[in-house]
Structure 1
Amino acid sequence: MEDVLTEIPPPSRFFQEDLNNFTPPSPPIPSPFLVFPTTAADLRPSLLIIAISSPSLHLFHTAASKTLIGALILPETSFAGNTVLPSLKDTSCHVYSLDGGKNQTLLVSVQLPVAADRCHAVAKLLVAGQILPERVLILDSVQNRNFRGKLSRDEAAAFKLETTAERRSKSVLGDSSLEYLPSASVVDGLGAAVLARCEMSKIKAVLCVAWPEFGGDVVELIKSRVLPALDLGLSFNADAGDDYGGLKQDKDPFDSDLYT
Protein backbone atom coordinates (compact mmCIF):
# COMPACT_ATOMS: atom_id res chain seq x y z
CA MET A 1 0.00 0.00 0.00
CA GLU A 2 1.26 3.47 -0.90
CA ASP A 3 2.30 5.86 1.83
CA VAL A 4 0.16 8.96 1.34
CA LEU A 5 2.48 11.06 3.50
CA THR A 6 5.67 10.47 1.53
CA GLU A 7 4.31 9.81 -1.94
CA ILE A 8 5.00 12.61 -4.45
CA PRO A 9 1.69 14.35 -5.19
CA PRO A 10 0.40 14.31 -8.76
CA PRO A 11 1.08 17.39 -10.89
CA SER A 12 -1.44 20.19 -10.73
CA ARG A 13 -4.01 20.46 -13.48
CA PHE A 14 -3.16 24.15 -13.84
CA PHE A 15 -0.01 26.11 -14.42
CA GLN A 16 0.75 28.75 -11.82
CA GLU A 17 -0.04 31.60 -14.21
CA ASP A 18 -3.39 29.98 -15.09
CA LEU A 19 -4.58 30.22 -11.50
CA ASN A 20 -4.81 34.01 -11.84
CA ASN A 21 -7.31 33.70 -14.67
CA PHE A 22 -10.09 33.17 -12.14
CA THR A 23 -9.33 36.46 -10.33
CA PRO A 24 -10.86 39.56 -11.90
CA PRO A 25 -8.20 42.18 -12.69
CA SER A 26 -8.07 45.28 -10.54
CA PRO A 27 -9.67 48.34 -12.12
CA PRO A 28 -7.09 50.72 -13.60
CA ILE A 29 -6.24 53.80 -11.56
CA PRO A 30 -7.23 57.04 -13.35
CA SER A 31 -4.34 59.20 -14.51
CA PRO A 32 -3.30 62.22 -12.43
CA PHE A 33 -4.43 65.58 -13.75
CA LEU A 34 -4.03 69.32 -13.23
CA VAL A 35 -6.95 71.58 -12.31
CA PHE A 36 -6.95 75.31 -13.04
CA PRO A 37 -9.76 77.81 -12.34
CA THR A 38 -9.98 78.69 -16.03
CA THR A 39 -9.29 76.67 -19.15
CA ALA A 40 -6.28 78.69 -20.23
CA ALA A 41 -3.62 77.74 -22.73
CA ASP A 42 -0.59 75.74 -21.70
CA LEU A 43 1.56 77.49 -19.12
CA ARG A 44 5.09 78.28 -20.27
CA PRO A 45 6.91 79.62 -17.20
CA SER A 46 10.53 80.66 -17.38
CA LEU A 47 11.11 78.88 -14.05
CA LEU A 48 9.27 76.01 -12.38
CA ILE A 49 10.11 75.21 -8.75
CA ILE A 50 9.00 71.83 -7.41
CA ALA A 51 9.17 71.69 -3.60
CA ILE A 52 9.12 68.12 -2.30
CA SER A 53 11.20 68.13 0.88
CA SER A 54 9.62 69.14 4.16
CA PRO A 55 12.01 72.10 4.73
CA SER A 56 11.36 73.57 1.27
CA LEU A 57 7.60 73.17 1.72
CA HIS A 58 7.78 74.99 5.03
CA LEU A 59 9.95 77.74 3.57
CA PHE A 60 7.67 78.51 0.63
CA HIS A 61 4.62 78.29 2.87
CA THR A 62 5.97 81.37 4.65
CA ALA A 63 6.54 83.27 1.39
CA ALA A 64 4.51 86.48 1.41
CA SER A 65 3.99 86.82 -2.33
CA LYS A 66 2.36 83.81 -3.98
CA THR A 67 -0.93 83.31 -5.79
CA LEU A 68 -2.79 80.01 -5.92
CA ILE A 69 -3.58 79.19 -9.55
CA GLY A 70 -4.21 75.43 -9.63
CA ALA A 71 -3.75 72.00 -8.13
CA LEU A 72 -2.51 68.54 -9.02
CA ILE A 73 -4.98 65.74 -8.32
CA LEU A 74 -4.04 62.12 -7.68
CA PRO A 75 -7.31 60.13 -7.85
CA GLU A 76 -6.04 57.50 -5.39
CA THR A 77 -5.29 60.12 -2.71
CA SER A 78 -7.99 61.16 -0.27
CA PHE A 79 -8.31 64.87 0.44
CA ALA A 80 -10.63 64.41 3.41
CA GLY A 81 -9.74 66.62 6.35
CA ASN A 82 -7.99 69.32 4.31
CA THR A 83 -8.57 72.89 5.35
CA VAL A 84 -10.13 75.60 3.19
CA LEU A 85 -6.96 77.69 3.18
CA PRO A 86 -3.64 76.05 2.24
CA SER A 87 -1.97 74.45 5.25
CA LEU A 88 1.21 72.42 5.74
CA LYS A 89 -0.93 69.74 7.42
CA ASP A 90 -3.02 69.20 4.28
CA THR A 91 -2.59 66.33 1.85
CA SER A 92 -2.44 68.40 -1.31
CA CYS A 93 -0.39 69.53 -4.27
CA HIS A 94 -1.00 73.18 -5.11
CA VAL A 95 0.39 75.24 -7.98
CA TYR A 96 1.30 78.85 -7.19
CA SER A 97 2.45 81.85 -9.19
CA LEU A 98 5.35 83.64 -7.50
CA ASP A 99 5.32 86.81 -9.61
CA GLY A 100 1.94 88.37 -8.97
CA GLY A 101 -0.07 86.24 -11.38
CA LYS A 102 2.18 86.68 -14.42
CA ASN A 103 2.86 82.92 -14.35
CA GLN A 104 6.51 83.32 -15.32
CA THR A 105 7.67 81.69 -12.08
CA LEU A 106 5.58 78.80 -10.81
CA LEU A 107 5.81 76.77 -7.63
CA VAL A 108 4.45 73.24 -7.22
CA SER A 109 4.07 72.42 -3.53
CA VAL A 110 3.99 68.61 -3.26
CA GLN A 111 2.39 67.83 0.12
CA LEU A 112 1.06 64.40 -0.78
CA PRO A 113 2.78 61.02 -1.08
CA VAL A 114 3.46 59.88 -4.65
CA ALA A 115 3.86 56.13 -5.08
CA ALA A 116 6.87 54.88 -7.01
CA ASP A 117 4.73 53.58 -9.87
CA ARG A 118 3.06 56.99 -10.24
CA CYS A 119 6.15 59.20 -10.19
CA HIS A 120 6.79 59.15 -13.93
CA ALA A 121 3.14 59.95 -14.74
CA VAL A 122 3.22 62.94 -12.38
CA ALA A 123 6.61 64.07 -13.70
CA LYS A 124 5.37 63.94 -17.29
CA LEU A 125 2.33 65.99 -16.31
CA LEU A 126 4.41 68.68 -14.58
CA VAL A 127 7.08 69.24 -17.24
CA ALA A 128 5.54 68.05 -20.49
CA GLY A 129 1.79 68.42 -20.03
CA GLN A 130 -0.03 71.67 -19.38
CA ILE A 131 3.15 73.15 -17.87
CA LEU A 132 6.04 73.64 -20.30
CA PRO A 133 8.88 75.27 -18.32
CA GLU A 134 12.15 76.64 -19.64
CA ARG A 135 14.00 75.82 -16.41
CA VAL A 136 13.18 73.57 -13.46
CA LEU A 137 14.47 73.60 -9.88
CA ILE A 138 13.61 70.56 -7.74
CA LEU A 139 14.04 70.76 -3.96
CA ASP A 140 14.19 67.33 -2.34
CA SER A 141 15.92 65.51 0.52
CA VAL A 142 18.57 62.81 0.52
CA GLN A 143 18.24 59.86 2.86
CA ASN A 144 21.22 58.61 4.80
CA ARG A 145 20.87 55.04 3.54
CA ASN A 146 21.05 56.28 -0.09
CA PHE A 147 24.18 58.39 0.44
CA ARG A 148 27.71 57.17 -0.15
CA GLY A 149 29.44 58.19 3.01
CA LYS A 150 28.34 59.36 6.44
CA LEU A 151 26.02 62.30 6.99
CA SER A 152 26.10 64.05 10.36
CA ARG A 153 22.74 64.85 11.94
CA ASP A 154 24.26 67.95 13.53
CA GLU A 155 25.33 69.57 10.25
CA ALA A 156 23.12 70.57 7.32
CA ALA A 157 24.37 69.76 3.83
CA ALA A 158 23.13 70.13 0.26
CA PHE A 159 24.13 68.56 -3.05
CA LYS A 160 22.95 68.83 -6.62
CA LEU A 161 22.37 66.93 -9.84
CA GLU A 162 21.69 68.63 -13.16
CA THR A 163 20.65 67.84 -16.69
CA THR A 164 22.96 68.04 -19.67
CA ALA A 165 21.18 71.17 -20.93
CA GLU A 166 21.77 72.91 -17.60
CA ARG A 167 25.43 71.92 -17.49
CA ARG A 168 26.01 73.38 -20.96
CA SER A 169 24.12 76.62 -20.31
CA LYS A 170 25.77 79.79 -19.11
CA SER A 171 22.97 80.70 -16.71
CA VAL A 172 23.22 79.49 -13.13
CA LEU A 173 20.19 77.77 -11.62
CA GLY A 174 20.73 77.53 -7.89
CA ASP A 175 24.04 77.98 -6.09
CA SER A 176 26.96 77.15 -8.37
CA SER A 177 29.12 76.40 -5.32
CA LEU A 178 26.99 73.40 -4.34
CA GLU A 179 28.87 70.13 -4.67
CA TYR A 180 27.57 67.39 -6.92
CA LEU A 181 25.99 64.38 -5.28
CA PRO A 182 28.80 61.84 -4.73
CA SER A 183 29.05 58.99 -7.18
CA ALA A 184 27.20 55.82 -6.10
CA SER A 185 24.71 57.85 -4.07
CA VAL A 186 21.06 57.35 -5.00
CA VAL A 187 18.11 59.69 -5.42
CA ASP A 188 14.70 58.18 -6.06
CA GLY A 189 11.04 59.14 -5.98
CA LEU A 190 9.35 62.08 -7.66
CA GLY A 191 12.45 64.29 -7.68
CA ALA A 192 14.46 61.76 -9.67
CA ALA A 193 11.52 61.17 -12.04
CA VAL A 194 11.17 64.90 -12.77
CA LEU A 195 14.92 65.25 -13.41
CA ALA A 196 14.82 62.25 -15.77
CA ARG A 197 11.85 63.75 -17.64
CA CYS A 198 13.72 67.06 -17.97
CA GLU A 199 16.77 65.24 -19.33
CA MET A 200 14.69 63.48 -21.97
CA SER A 201 12.96 66.75 -22.89
CA LYS A 202 16.29 68.66 -22.98
CA ILE A 203 15.12 71.10 -20.31
CA LYS A 204 17.58 72.93 -18.07
CA ALA A 205 16.99 71.51 -14.61
CA VAL A 206 18.73 71.14 -11.25
CA LEU A 207 17.83 68.75 -8.46
CA CYS A 208 19.00 70.02 -5.07
CA VAL A 209 18.89 67.47 -2.27
CA ALA A 210 19.41 68.58 1.32
CA TRP A 211 20.17 66.85 4.60
CA PRO A 212 18.70 66.34 7.16
CA GLU A 213 15.10 65.81 6.16
CA PHE A 214 13.83 68.04 8.98
CA GLY A 215 15.10 70.93 11.06
CA GLY A 216 15.63 74.67 11.00
CA ASP A 217 19.26 74.42 9.87
CA VAL A 218 18.35 72.98 6.49
CA VAL A 219 15.67 75.66 6.04
CA GLU A 220 18.33 78.33 6.49
CA LEU A 221 20.65 76.45 4.14
CA ILE A 222 18.07 76.45 1.33
CA LYS A 223 17.18 80.08 1.96
CA SER A 224 20.77 81.30 2.04
CA ARG A 225 22.49 79.17 -0.63
CA VAL A 226 19.92 77.98 -3.15
CA LEU A 227 17.23 80.65 -3.48
CA PRO A 228 19.37 83.85 -3.57
CA ALA A 229 20.85 82.81 -6.91
CA LEU A 230 17.34 82.80 -8.40
CA ASP A 231 16.63 86.42 -7.42
CA LEU A 232 12.91 85.76 -6.96
CA GLY A 233 12.32 88.86 -4.90
CA LEU A 234 10.34 86.89 -2.31
CA SER A 235 10.06 87.90 1.32
CA PHE A 236 10.12 85.01 3.77
CA ASN A 237 9.18 84.92 7.42
CA ALA A 238 12.34 85.75 9.32
CA ASP A 239 11.42 83.21 12.00
CA ALA A 240 10.79 80.38 9.55
CA GLY A 241 13.86 78.45 10.62
CA ASP A 242 13.17 79.00 14.32
CA ASP A 243 9.56 77.85 14.05
CA TYR A 244 10.60 74.76 12.16
CA GLY A 245 13.56 73.91 14.37
CA GLY A 246 11.43 72.00 16.84
CA LEU A 247 10.66 69.28 14.31
CA LYS A 248 13.32 66.61 14.52
CA GLN A 249 13.84 63.57 12.37
CA ASP A 250 13.05 60.18 13.82
CA LYS A 251 15.83 57.65 14.11
CA ASP A 252 16.45 56.07 10.74
CA PRO A 253 16.71 52.25 11.07
CA PHE A 254 19.31 52.29 8.27
CA ASP A 255 21.41 54.98 10.01
CA SER A 256 24.23 52.61 10.87
CA ASP A 257 27.87 52.11 10.07
CA LEU A 258 26.76 49.08 8.07
CA TYR A 259 25.32 51.45 5.42
CA THR A 260 28.24 53.86 5.03
Structure 2
Amino acid sequence: MDDVITDLPPPSRFLLEDLNNFTPRPPHLPSPFLVFSSPNSTKIFCPSILIIALSSPSLHFLHHLSPKTLIGTLILPEIPFSGNSTKPSLKDKSCNIYTLNEKADETIMIALVQFSVTSERAHAVSKLLIGGKINPRRVLILDSVERRNFRGKLSSDEAIAFKLVTSSERGNLTAGDSSVVKGLDYYPSGSVVDGLGAALLSRCELKKIKGTLCVSWPDLGVPVMTLVKSLLVKDVLTGVSYSDDGDYEAEYLKLSRRKDRVDSDLYT
Protein backbone atom coordinates (compact mmCIF):
# COMPACT_ATOMS: atom_id res chain seq x y z
CA MET A 1 0.00 0.00 0.00
CA ASP A 2 1.32 3.46 -0.93
CA ASP A 3 2.30 5.87 1.82
CA VAL A 4 0.35 9.05 1.04
CA ILE A 5 2.52 11.06 3.43
CA THR A 6 6.00 10.26 2.14
CA ASP A 7 5.35 9.41 -1.50
CA LEU A 8 6.01 12.15 -4.05
CA PRO A 9 2.84 13.76 -5.42
CA PRO A 10 1.93 13.05 -9.04
CA PRO A 11 3.17 15.60 -11.58
CA SER A 12 0.90 18.52 -12.41
CA ARG A 13 -1.02 18.34 -15.64
CA PHE A 14 0.14 21.88 -16.43
CA LEU A 15 3.56 23.40 -16.76
CA LEU A 16 4.14 26.60 -14.78
CA GLU A 17 4.35 28.73 -17.92
CA ASP A 18 1.07 27.21 -19.14
CA LEU A 19 -0.74 28.37 -16.02
CA ASN A 20 0.06 31.99 -16.91
CA ASN A 21 -1.96 31.61 -20.09
CA PHE A 22 -5.15 31.74 -18.03
CA THR A 23 -4.23 35.11 -16.45
CA PRO A 24 -4.72 38.15 -18.68
CA ARG A 25 -1.66 40.35 -18.96
CA PRO A 26 -2.03 43.75 -17.27
CA PRO A 27 -2.44 46.55 -19.81
CA HIS A 28 0.68 48.59 -20.50
CA LEU A 29 0.33 52.07 -19.01
CA PRO A 30 2.01 55.08 -20.61
CA SER A 31 4.64 56.79 -18.49
CA PRO A 32 3.60 59.80 -16.39
CA PHE A 33 4.90 63.16 -17.60
CA LEU A 34 5.15 66.85 -16.68
CA VAL A 35 3.52 69.72 -18.55
CA PHE A 36 4.87 73.22 -17.83
CA SER A 37 3.22 76.51 -18.70
CA SER A 38 6.59 78.08 -19.57
CA PRO A 39 7.26 78.16 -23.32
CA ASN A 40 10.88 77.23 -22.60
CA SER A 41 10.51 73.48 -22.16
CA THR A 42 14.23 73.01 -21.49
CA LYS A 43 14.23 75.13 -18.33
CA ILE A 44 15.47 73.40 -15.17
CA PHE A 45 13.87 74.55 -11.90
CA CYS A 46 16.17 74.73 -8.88
CA PRO A 47 14.03 75.83 -5.92
CA SER A 48 15.52 76.33 -2.48
CA ILE A 49 12.83 74.00 -1.15
CA LEU A 50 10.20 71.79 -2.73
CA ILE A 51 7.14 71.05 -0.57
CA ILE A 52 5.19 67.97 -1.67
CA ALA A 53 1.76 67.70 -0.05
CA LEU A 54 0.16 64.25 0.17
CA SER A 55 -1.90 64.47 3.39
CA SER A 56 -5.32 66.09 3.65
CA PRO A 57 -4.34 68.88 6.10
CA SER A 58 -1.30 69.93 4.05
CA LEU A 59 -3.30 69.90 0.81
CA HIS A 60 -6.06 72.06 2.30
CA PHE A 61 -3.73 74.62 3.84
CA LEU A 62 -1.34 74.98 0.88
CA HIS A 63 -4.18 75.10 -1.66
CA HIS A 64 -5.55 78.26 -0.01
CA LEU A 65 -2.21 80.09 0.18
CA SER A 66 -1.70 83.10 -2.07
CA PRO A 67 -0.12 84.53 -4.08
CA LYS A 68 1.19 81.42 -5.79
CA THR A 69 1.76 80.84 -9.49
CA LEU A 70 0.73 77.67 -11.31
CA ILE A 71 3.71 76.59 -13.41
CA GLY A 72 2.99 72.99 -14.30
CA THR A 73 1.06 69.77 -13.87
CA LEU A 74 2.06 66.15 -13.47
CA ILE A 75 -0.07 63.91 -15.68
CA LEU A 76 -0.75 60.32 -14.63
CA PRO A 77 -2.39 58.78 -17.75
CA GLU A 78 -4.62 56.37 -15.80
CA ILE A 79 -6.23 59.26 -13.88
CA PRO A 80 -9.16 60.63 -15.96
CA PHE A 81 -9.65 64.38 -16.41
CA SER A 82 -13.44 64.04 -16.33
CA GLY A 83 -14.94 65.83 -13.36
CA ASN A 84 -12.02 68.24 -12.91
CA SER A 85 -12.81 71.93 -12.87
CA THR A 86 -11.26 74.55 -15.15
CA LYS A 87 -9.62 76.25 -12.16
CA PRO A 88 -7.57 74.36 -9.55
CA SER A 89 -9.85 72.80 -6.95
CA LEU A 90 -9.37 70.44 -4.02
CA LYS A 91 -12.06 68.23 -5.54
CA ASP A 92 -9.93 67.60 -8.64
CA LYS A 93 -7.81 64.50 -9.17
CA SER A 94 -4.68 66.37 -10.15
CA CYS A 95 -1.09 67.16 -9.26
CA ASN A 96 -0.44 70.85 -9.80
CA ILE A 97 2.94 72.49 -9.23
CA TYR A 98 3.25 76.09 -8.02
CA THR A 99 5.87 78.66 -7.09
CA LEU A 100 5.11 80.54 -3.88
CA ASN A 101 8.07 82.84 -3.35
CA GLU A 102 9.81 83.48 -6.64
CA LYS A 103 13.16 85.12 -5.89
CA ALA A 104 16.65 84.60 -7.23
CA ASP A 105 17.89 82.16 -4.59
CA GLU A 106 14.86 81.52 -2.40
CA THR A 107 12.20 80.09 -4.69
CA ILE A 108 9.69 77.83 -2.96
CA MET A 109 7.89 75.26 -5.09
CA ILE A 110 4.79 73.36 -4.01
CA ALA A 111 3.38 70.14 -5.50
CA LEU A 112 -0.17 69.25 -4.46
CA VAL A 113 -0.72 65.53 -5.13
CA GLN A 114 -4.51 65.15 -5.11
CA PHE A 115 -4.78 61.63 -6.50
CA SER A 116 -3.70 58.29 -5.10
CA VAL A 117 -0.58 56.78 -6.64
CA THR A 118 -0.22 53.00 -6.66
CA SER A 119 2.99 51.44 -5.40
CA GLU A 120 3.82 50.32 -8.95
CA ARG A 121 3.76 53.95 -10.15
CA ALA A 122 5.27 55.63 -7.08
CA HIS A 123 8.89 55.54 -8.27
CA ALA A 124 8.00 56.86 -11.74
CA VAL A 125 6.17 59.80 -10.17
CA SER A 126 9.00 60.48 -7.71
CA LYS A 127 11.51 60.66 -10.58
CA LEU A 128 9.45 63.38 -12.24
CA LEU A 129 9.03 65.47 -9.09
CA ILE A 130 12.64 65.18 -7.91
CA GLY A 131 15.81 65.17 -9.97
CA GLY A 132 14.50 65.66 -13.51
CA LYS A 133 13.38 69.13 -14.52
CA ILE A 134 12.98 69.96 -10.83
CA ASN A 135 16.24 69.92 -8.86
CA PRO A 136 15.52 71.27 -5.38
CA ARG A 137 18.18 71.94 -2.76
CA ARG A 138 15.82 70.69 -0.07
CA VAL A 139 12.61 68.64 -0.05
CA LEU A 140 9.80 68.47 2.52
CA ILE A 141 7.21 65.69 2.06
CA LEU A 142 3.98 65.97 4.06
CA ASP A 143 2.23 62.61 4.42
CA SER A 144 -0.07 60.85 6.89
CA VAL A 145 0.57 57.96 9.26
CA GLU A 146 -1.20 54.75 8.30
CA ARG A 147 -2.51 52.93 11.37
CA ARG A 148 -1.48 49.54 9.95
CA ASN A 149 2.12 50.77 9.54
CA PHE A 150 2.55 52.24 13.02
CA ARG A 151 4.07 50.23 15.83
CA GLY A 152 2.15 51.44 18.86
CA LYS A 153 -1.19 52.92 19.80
CA LEU A 154 -2.72 55.89 18.02
CA SER A 155 -5.52 57.98 19.53
CA SER A 156 -8.01 59.68 17.21
CA ASP A 157 -8.21 62.56 19.70
CA GLU A 158 -4.49 63.33 19.71
CA ALA A 159 -2.67 65.00 16.82
CA ILE A 160 0.94 63.90 16.47
CA ALA A 161 3.69 64.13 13.86
CA PHE A 162 7.04 62.45 13.28
CA LYS A 163 9.88 62.86 10.81
CA LEU A 164 12.27 60.78 8.75
CA VAL A 165 15.31 62.38 7.08
CA THR A 166 17.88 61.46 4.47
CA SER A 167 21.55 61.03 5.34
CA SER A 168 22.33 64.42 3.75
CA GLU A 169 19.78 66.14 5.98
CA ARG A 170 21.02 64.27 9.05
CA GLY A 171 24.61 65.27 8.23
CA ASN A 172 23.61 68.93 8.07
CA LEU A 173 21.87 68.69 11.43
CA THR A 174 24.99 67.13 12.94
CA ALA A 175 27.04 70.00 11.53
CA GLY A 176 24.76 72.50 13.28
CA ASP A 177 22.41 73.44 10.43
CA SER A 178 18.76 74.05 11.35
CA SER A 179 16.12 71.47 10.54
CA VAL A 180 13.41 72.27 8.02
CA VAL A 181 10.85 71.24 10.67
CA LYS A 182 11.75 71.72 14.32
CA GLY A 183 10.57 70.00 17.47
CA LEU A 184 9.53 66.70 15.89
CA ASP A 185 10.59 63.28 17.12
CA TYR A 186 11.87 60.69 14.68
CA TYR A 187 9.45 58.06 13.44
CA PRO A 188 9.45 55.19 15.99
CA SER A 189 11.65 52.20 15.25
CA GLY A 190 9.68 49.30 13.83
CA SER A 191 7.08 51.53 12.18
CA VAL A 192 6.83 51.59 8.39
CA VAL A 193 6.25 54.19 5.69
CA ASP A 194 5.23 53.05 2.23
CA GLY A 195 3.69 54.38 -0.96
CA LEU A 196 4.60 57.63 -2.69
CA GLY A 197 5.97 59.25 0.47
CA ALA A 198 8.55 56.50 0.88
CA ALA A 199 9.44 56.60 -2.83
CA LEU A 200 10.00 60.37 -2.68
CA LEU A 201 12.27 60.10 0.37
CA SER A 202 14.20 57.27 -1.33
CA ARG A 203 14.61 59.48 -4.39
CA CYS A 204 16.07 62.24 -2.21
CA GLU A 205 18.49 59.74 -0.66
CA LEU A 206 19.55 58.50 -4.10
CA LYS A 207 20.12 62.06 -5.41
CA LYS A 208 21.88 63.13 -2.16
CA ILE A 209 19.27 65.81 -1.52
CA LYS A 210 18.45 67.07 1.96
CA GLY A 211 15.02 65.50 2.36
CA THR A 212 12.54 65.30 5.23
CA LEU A 213 9.38 63.20 5.37
CA CYS A 214 6.90 64.51 7.93
CA VAL A 215 4.04 62.14 8.75
CA SER A 216 1.07 63.31 10.82
CA TRP A 217 -1.87 61.62 12.54
CA PRO A 218 -4.84 61.57 12.10
CA ASP A 219 -5.51 62.57 8.51
CA LEU A 220 -8.65 64.55 9.40
CA GLY A 221 -9.68 66.85 12.21
CA VAL A 222 -9.01 70.37 13.44
CA PRO A 223 -6.12 69.41 15.81
CA VAL A 224 -4.00 67.88 13.03
CA MET A 225 -4.73 70.85 10.76
CA THR A 226 -3.51 73.18 13.51
CA LEU A 227 -0.37 71.06 13.94
CA VAL A 228 0.53 70.93 10.24
CA LYS A 229 -0.17 74.64 9.77
CA SER A 230 2.05 75.46 12.75
CA LEU A 231 4.93 73.41 11.33
CA LEU A 232 4.70 75.16 7.97
CA VAL A 233 4.21 78.70 9.26
CA LYS A 234 6.85 78.64 12.01
CA ASP A 235 9.56 76.59 10.34
CA VAL A 236 9.17 76.52 6.55
CA LEU A 237 7.45 79.73 5.48
CA THR A 238 9.34 82.06 7.83
CA GLY A 239 10.11 85.33 6.06
CA VAL A 240 7.81 84.52 3.14
CA SER A 241 5.10 87.02 2.25
CA TYR A 242 1.84 85.13 1.83
CA SER A 243 -1.78 85.10 2.93
CA ASP A 244 -4.64 82.62 3.12
CA ASP A 245 -8.30 83.18 2.32
CA GLY A 246 -9.51 81.61 5.55
CA ASP A 247 -11.77 79.12 3.78
CA TYR A 248 -9.49 76.15 4.36
CA GLU A 249 -10.53 75.78 8.00
CA ALA A 250 -14.27 75.70 7.22
CA GLU A 251 -13.81 73.35 4.25
CA TYR A 252 -11.57 71.04 6.23
CA LEU A 253 -14.02 70.95 9.14
CA LYS A 254 -16.84 69.99 6.75
CA LEU A 255 -14.69 67.24 5.21
CA SER A 256 -13.80 65.88 8.65
CA ARG A 257 -17.44 65.81 9.71
CA ARG A 258 -18.50 64.02 6.51
CA LYS A 259 -15.75 61.44 6.97
CA ASP A 260 -16.69 60.90 10.62
CA ARG A 261 -20.33 60.40 9.62
CA VAL A 262 -19.41 57.84 6.94
CA ASP A 263 -17.15 55.93 9.33
CA SER A 264 -19.81 55.86 12.05
CA ASP A 265 -22.43 54.59 9.59
CA LEU A 266 -20.18 51.67 8.66
CA TYR A 267 -20.24 50.39 12.24
CA THR A 268 -23.95 50.86 13.04
Q: Name the residue aligned to 1:55.
A: 57
- So what's the TM-score if we normalise by structure 1? 0.86
Q: What is the aligned residue count?
A: 244
Determine the C-alpha separation between the residues in 2 that align with 1:121 and 1:149: 32
Residue in structure 2 matching 1:163, options 149, 163, 166: 166
Q: Name the residue aligned to 1:119.
A: 122
Residue in structure 2 matching 1:235, options 239, 243, 246: 243
Correspondence 1:119-138 to 2 at 5 A: 119-138=122-141
Residue in structure 2 matching 1:92, options 84, 90, 94: 94
Could you tell me how far 1:113 is from its partner in structure 2? 1.1
Higher alpha-carbon deviation: 163-172 or 111-120: 163-172
Correspondence 1:129-208 to 2 at 5 A: 129-169=132-172, 170-208=176-214
State the identity as a percent: 53
Q: Name the residue aligned to 1:31.
A: 31
Structure 1 unmatched ranges of 5 or more: 1-9, 253-260
Native 8 Å contact 2:138 2:211 kept in 1: yes
Determine the C-alpha separation between the residues in 2 that align with 1:163 and 1:209: 15
1:49 partner letter = I
Structure 2 unmatched ranges of 5 or more: 1-9
Determine the C-alpha separation between the residues in 1 that align with 2:45 and 2:66: 23
Native 8 Å contact 1:69 1:95 kept in 2: yes
Q: CA offsets per residue over residues 218-242 of structure 1, 9 Å max, x none?
A: 1111111344212233322445334
3-state SS of paired residue (1:161):
strand
Native 8 Å contact 1:72 1:94 kept in 2: yes
Q: Name the residue aligned to 1:257.
A: none
Q: CA offsets per residue over residues 88-113 of structure 1, 9 Å max, x none?
A: 00000000011148682110000011
Residue in structure 1 matching 2:253, options 230, 241, 245: 245
- So what's the TM-score if we normalise by structure 2? 0.83
Q: Name the residue aligned to 1:68.
A: 70
